[in-house]
Amino acid sequence: MRRRQLLIGGLAVAGLAACNRDSGAAGDGPYVAIVAKGFQHQFWQAVKSGAEREAARAGATITFEGPATEKEVEAQITMLTNAIAKRPDAIGFAALDSKAAEGLLQQAKAQNIPVIAFDSGVDSQVPLTTAATDNLAAAAEAATHMSELIGGTGTVALVVHDQTSLTGQQRRDGFTRWMAENAPGVRLLPVQYGDGDQARSADITKSILSANPDVTGIYGANEGSAIGVVRGVQESGRTGVTIVGFDSGKAQLDAIRSGLMAGAITQNPVGMGAALITAALTAIRGEPLEKTIDTGYFWYDRTNIDTPEIQAVLYQ
- Percent share of the chain, pLDDT over 90: 78
The average pLDDT across 229-236 equals: 98
Predicted local distance difference test score (pLDDT) of residue 8: 34
Are 138 and 292 in contact by the 8 Å Cβ rule? The answer is no
Residue 136 · residue 173 · CB < 8 Å: yes
Kindly state the average pLDDT of the residues 217-237.
97
Task: Please report, to the nearest 10 degrees, the dihedral formed by the alpha carbons of residues 245, 248, 254, 257 taken in order.
Answer: 70
For residues 8-19, give the mean pLDDT.
34
Residue 242: count other Cβ atoms within 10 Å of its Cβ: 21
Phi first, then psi: give them for residue 31, nearest 5 degrees: -115, 120
Comparing CA positions, the residue from 129, 130, 121 lying closest to residue 101 is 121
C-alpha closest to that of 151 among 190, 189, 187, 185: 185
- Residue 35 pLDDT exceeds 80: yes
pLDDT in tens, 157-166: 999 999 988 8
For the chain, how far is it from start to end, CA to CA, in angstroms? Answer: 20
6 pLDDT more than 60: no
Range with lowest mean pLDDT among 41-45, 76-80, 109-113, 115-119: 41-45
- d(C-alpha 109, C-alpha 107), whole Å: 5
More confident residue, 121 or 300: 300
Residue among 224, 267, 227 nearest 68 (CA)? 224
What's the 3-state SS for the chain? CCCCCCCECCECCCCCCCCCCCCCCCCCCCEEEEECCCCCCHHHHHHHHHHHHHHHHHCCEEEEECCCCCCCHHHHHHHHHHHHHCCCCEEEECCCCCCCCHHHHHHHHHCCCCEEEECCCCCCCCCCEEEECCHHHHHHHHHHHHHHHCCCCEEEEEEECCCCCHHHHHHHHHHHHHHHHHCCCEEECCCEECCCCHHHHHHHHHHHHHHCCCEEEEEECCHHHHHHHHHHHHHHCCCCCEEEEECCCHHHHHHHHHCCCCEEEEECHHHHHHHHHHHHHHHHCCCCCECEEECCEEEEECCCCCCHHHHCCCCC
